[in-house]
Structures are given as C-alpha cells and as structure tokens.
Amino acid sequence: TNDRFPYYENQHIQMVSLPFKNSEMQLLIILPKKTFGLAKLEDKLTGEELFSYIGALNHLTKLSYVVNSPL
C-alpha cells in the first residue's frame, strides 16, 4: 500500500507505525539497519530506548511510503 505513516530512523534502526483499520491500535515494526543485526538489536535494545524511539515517532510528520509485507 502507498500511504502516509509515521517513520523514524537513526544509525541503528528503522521504525514505522502502521494503524489497524477502524482501531486506535497500531503495529510497530522495528528493523535493524545492519543486515543480520536483529539478534544484536534484541540484546541491546532497552525499554527506555524503545519508549524514546516511540516518542520520537509520535512527534514526526507522517511521510508517504510504500510498505510491502510478505503477509
């Protein structure tokens, strides 16, 4: 789908928030910037960092992206 979604990235991660239809809930997708970096991201990501990323995401302008899902 091509729509506007909140998107955040830094040197370690890329993150996008996808809203569920007719719901206030959202799917938060976090990907490491480095290939094969998921295990390292899982080990190092703290709750404090996660909330910081989510806070940044909520204050950004929504950008237009094409999101592809294998589902």
pLDDT of residue 18: 85
pLDDT tens by residue, 6-40? 888 888 888 888 888 888 888 888 889 888 888 98
Dihedral Cα 27, 52, 45, 12, nearest 10 deg: 90
For residue 64, pLDDT over 70 is answered with no
pLDDT of residue 48: 92
What burial class does residue 41 get, using C-beta atoms within 10 Å of its C-beta: 0-12 exposed, 13-18 middle, 19+ buried?
A: middle
For residue 65, pLDDT over 70 is answered with no
Half-sphere exposure of 20 (CA within 13 A, CB side): 6
pLDDT tens by residue, 32-62? 988 888 898 888 889 998 888 888 877 766 6
Going from N- to C-terminal start, the domains of the chain cover 2-66
